[in-house]
Structure 1
Amino acid sequence: MRISLLAGSAVTVLILAGCSSTSDEEPARVFATPDGPGLSAAVTEEALVGHLEQLESIAADHDGNRAAGTAGYDASVDYVVSQLESAGFEVTTPEFEFETFEAQTQTLSLAGTEIPVIALSYSPTTTAEGITARVVGAPAGADGCEAADYTGLDLAGAVAVVPRGVCPFGVKQTVAAELGAAAAIIVNNEPGPLDSGTLGDADTARIPTGGVSQEDGAAVLAAPEVTLTLVTETETTTSRNIIAQTTTGSTENVVVTGAHLDSVPEGPGINDNGTGTAAVLETALQMGSAPEITNAVRFAFWGAEENGLVGSTKYVEGLSDEDKRNIALYLNFDMIGSHNAGYLAYDGDDSDQVGEPAGPAGSDAIERTFVERLAEEGVAVDGTDFDGRSDYGPFIEVGIPAGGVFSGADENKTAAQAEKWGGTADQTFDENYHTDQDTLANVDRAALAKNGAAVAYGIGVYAQSVEGPNGVPVGAEREAARAEG
């Protein structure tokens, strides 16, 4: 059993019941003070890197990835479960079904010229000959998220071409399908290819949908006709979440914190999302299963996030109304050590008035908690939208306030951000996102350490109190806020 010693900070010692102390026995495990300062001091870069090394080794032993539905994912589950059990947690691994997706043929032809295209996950298949049809593009400034964006245009039998952004890909193809489009092409909204994307699930997928780069998008829009061939296959399989909760603290104000454990099939997923997994796991190990806390903490490690937030969605769908009422808030951690790292907190109050709206009542307070914590480290934090691309999505959809920190994915770092945080302007936060180069060697360890400590701080703060200046609605106020939302 691992010994964790926190110098210079108060600690709680758990002596295993029924054991006397002898030189042949393992020493009593030492846990950190279970509050914000205590946990943030205890969650070290060294410990986080240790977990990442284990996850990278697991991927190396299993075809280079830890994707849901694979032996690499199962080995990742085994590792996290064993770690949690070593800290005294009772752990469950509920199973759920989801669809796996494979694209066998992906081609796009414009008057005989081949354009690179990817099939979005769950895209329905075309025939081997593909779909040849005229092109109808969403008007300039329209995002294709509602039928009104195509007013005056005839999409019947056409290939709809629509920019990425504002709403999920699944919404864009649904709108096009309902207007009669035969297929859809999503154009990246920034330079470079659209490396990956999902329509959400097989039930949402209506028409064959591919993605192209911003540069190639212009050529597609200019073409009178294209031939799109996406030969795909979707199969049903199973995966697991991991759930572990403290035995102490109120179960009427549960703090749920989560990170997705799976990688994409293309790589080991060490930043996405080994880093978030490591931070949540190490916080659990430092807290222990029976800390002196006010509110119970539920640690979750989600499966099949990369397949469309499946594990977290199935979990929330399985909660009773009372279960949902008893969750005070959800803290999500997905990518906290990006190579060209940013320091971002989910924009709970929509303070920039850009993009997605504010989160449920209390999300603004969660954002302040992380902004203030990182400010103590000399880091000025920017907001990032609740854009539906991570596991907070199912929680905010049912009115549960959410928040967390994030170091950026495939968006570009601005010049102002590079001046503020370092790194390279006009380059993506993580050029290794969803590739085989998402390895420990490409993790920004300084960002990992700062964000990892912030993860632990936020969990510790709310474990002790969900009220106060940075609190969330409780009791009747919570019920009213969620009813209104």
Structure 2
Amino acid sequence: MVSRIKLGAVAAAATLLGGFGVAQPAQASGNSTKDLTTSVTLAGVLRHLVAFQAIAKLNGDTRASGTPGYTRSADYVATLMRAAGYQVTRQPFPFNFCSDDASSFTQNTPTPTAYVDQVDYDVLDCSGNGTATGAVVPVDLQLTTPNTSTSGCEAGDFVGVSGNIALIQRGGCGFGVKATNAQAAGATGVIIMNQGDTTGPDRQDLFLGTLGGPVGIPAVAVSYPQGVAFAGTAGLTVTISADTVAEVRQTENVIAESRYGNADNVVMTGAHLDSVPEGPGINDNGTGSAGILEVALQARNLKSKNKLRFAWWGAEEANLVGSTFYVNSLSEAEHAKIKLYLNFDMIGSPNYTFGVYDGDDSDATGAGPGPAGSAQIEQVFQRFFATRKQATAASDFTGRSDYGPFIGTGIPAGGLFTGAEVEKTADDVAKWGGLAGVAYDPCYHEACDSFTPERDGADKAVYAQLRKKYKLVGNVNTFALDTNADAVATAVGTFAQDISSIPPRPAPAGTALARVSGTSGHGLVE
């Protein structure tokens, strides 16, 4: 793709309001993967991001599922896909809507201290509303190697917590199980510390977590070192105050299928359309949604051998609810027709890495390989980045995005990820440039994930440094987005015509397809 655009020109092209009459760039001129990749331009992708930003602006600065901003985003996608000739289905489902509007967390004794939201603590998604004050009571903590914690997973763990604040360690079961058990034992509030079972930042630092469903008492997350400090402080009392909403709402997935291709061989591509309630979600996941939308529009007349199916998932940020609902709704026969799934979640992070899902587990860390065929999907992406002379990073199948329900039921998957809250390393900088010690996306899950990050609360000094290193449009790195959109088109175009590299999938052992539960989304559940 060619990166010769100005944001103003894109905004002028994106006359999205009313009937969403957006000017269409020229479509792919032929059936080859190269034709499709060439037709997908940065300008084409950015016009959809402009639309998403405008939708958020008109709807409380959010596109979260269960809000008008999400419904309007779904309208935008569905309208364009129908106009392009796709068969569009809008699949409704209920989910737990949770938001955090304000909070405070203070140490009362022995040393009065005010903790900083998003720095010292984070309100767990679906936390209860209200204020809790009391002594901090450690619950079955394991603070020596190997820290194999099951803290809070059993009702018997909660000794002396009634009327107090339970300090619980991550590990062994879901955060929601721990918080629910604490509430049942009479705790008035919950602090969940990271596990500390490795030295990695994901097990040491402050984490963003979700309880998975409404819990009736205030609940916050802290880092492992902070939790250890709390556990070692005699006479510790704290106050947790959370202004939250937790209720059941309706939302939907948008599913679009091509006119051409063998309906028994479905190549499925997806991205979550929802943002978090805190912001418009221009990188997370406006970039993935816009990327697959532009690829789909350019492929609208592609006479593919295999059926193309595109999905924009709802309620990913609430625990992969939309993609899980979809997979669980499939009959055994329909499930078998999906030969592979491609997932694109955050493909334009400002301080990016080129992450490719590690289908063959060549990195040998974290989760194992994906289902048979995942390695072959990874190879398509690796070949693409090799032609662009770009290094890649192995992105683990952690279950933090919508591929989770697919690989959980045996469908091979792959995709791209440019990074979220984890900090870039010096080795990363040697590969992709940027800033070491700064998150891949410094505005991850914040209001500043927008076209005007500094105005919306981003660290101005950090973004000034990033702009010296890269060309950014708002909270999006244009080179990363440009390159990854080409990678999306290359993968879709490749598998649209040929899935011979994907091995046949054995039939399920039983008479019914195993159902999967929502796993984690970007906010972890365990």
- Category of TM-score, reference length = shorter chain: 0.7 to 0.9
1:283/1:456 contact within 8 Å kept: yes
| Residue 403 in structure 1 maps to residue 433 in structure 2 | no
- Helix, strand or coil at the partner of 1:404: strand
User: Does residue 291 of structure 2 align to residue 279 of structure 1?
Assistant: yes
Asked if 1 retains the 8 angstrom alpha-carbon contact of 2:85 and 2:259, the reply is no
Supply the AA of the counterpart residue of 1:455: V
1:119 aligned to 2:123? yes
The equivalent residue for 2:358 is 347
Distance 1:34 1:201, change over 3 A: farther
Tell me how far apart the structure 2 counterparts of residues 362 and 478 of structure 1 sit (CA, whole Å).
Answer: 15
Q: What percent identity do the matched residue pairs reach?
A: 40
Equivalent residue for 1:220? 230
For the residues of structure 2 that align with 1:60 and 1:393, how far apart are their CA atoms? 31
Aligned counterpart in structure 2 of residue 387 of structure 1, from 395, 398, 418 = 398
The 5-angstrom pairing of residues 41-60 of structure 1 reads 41-60=38-57
Secondary structure, in 3 states, of the residue corresponding to 1:211? Answer: strand
Checking the alignment, whether the CA contact within 8 Å between 2:150 and 2:172 is kept in structure 1 is: no
Match of 1:234 in 2: 246
Superposed counterparts of 1:253-272, under 5 Å: 253-272=265-284
Match of 2:107 in 1: 109
Structure-2 separation of matches of 1:67 and 1:390: 16
On the 8 A contact 2:152/2:181 being kept in 1, the answer is: no
CA distance in 2 between partners of 1:236 and 1:148 (Å): 26
Q: CA deviation at 1:90?
A: 2.0
How far does residue 233 in structure 1 lie from its aligned partner after superposition?
Answer: 4.0
2:439 is aligned, of 428, 431, 443, to 428
Q: Please say if residues 145 and 171 of structure 1, whose CA atoms lie closer than 8 Å, have aligned partners that are also in contact.
A: no
Instruction: Give 3-state SS (helix, strand or coil) of 1:82's partner.
Output: helix
Cα distance, 1:417 vs structure 2: 1.2
Question: Which of residues 304, 309, 315 in structure 2 aligns to 1:298?
Answer: 309
Structure 2 counterpart of 1:50, which letter?
R
Which residue of structure 1 lines up, in the alignment, with residue 465 of structure 2?
none
* Alpha-carbon separation, structure 1, partners of 2:333 and 2:239: 48
- SS at 2:429 equivalent: helix
| Alpha-carbon distance between aligned partners in 1 of 2:386 and 2:400, rounded to the nearest angstrom | 26
Residues 288-332 of structure 1 show CA distances to partners (whole Å, capped at 9, x for unaligned) of: 0x5311211110001111111111111111111111111111110
Deviations 1:266-297 (A, max 9, x none): 11111111110111001110110x53112111
What residue number does 2:454 align with?
none
Alignment partner of 2:143 out of 132, 135, 139: 139
1:366-377 equivalences in 2 (<5 Å): 366-377=377-388
Instruction: Tell me, in whole angstroms, the C-alpha distance in 1 between the residues paired with 2:159 and 2:181.
Output: 12
Instruction: Between 141-150 and 46-55, report the one with greater CA deviation.
Output: 141-150
Unaligned runs of 5+ residues in structure 2 are 1-22, 452-473, 517-526
Deviation at 1:342, TM superposition (A): 0.4
The unaligned stretches of length 5 or more in structure 1 are 1-25
- What's the CA shift for 1:421? 0.8
CA distance change for structure 1 residues 233 and 46 in 2, over 3 Å: closer, same or farther? closer
Paired residues of 2:261 and 2:308 also in contact (CA < 8 A)? yes
Change (3 A) 1:462 1:178: farther
Which amino acid letter does the alignment assign opposite residue 113 of structure 1? Answer: T
Correspondent of 2:84 among 66, 83, 87: 87
CA RMSD between the two structures: 3.4
Q: Name the structure 1 match of 2:485.
A: 452
Q: Secondary structure at the match of 2:126?
A: coil
Contact conserved, 1:366 with 1:402, CA < 8 A, in 2?
Answer: yes
Measured against aligned partners, the alpha-carbon deviations of 1:398-454 in whole angstroms (never above 9, x if no partner) come to 111111011101111121111011111121100011112112312100000001100
State how far apart, in whole Å, the 2-side matches of 1:450 and 1:113 are.
Answer: 46
Any idea what SS the aligned residue of 1:427 has? Answer: coil
C-alpha distance in structure 2 between counterparts of 1:417 and 1:453, whole Å: 22
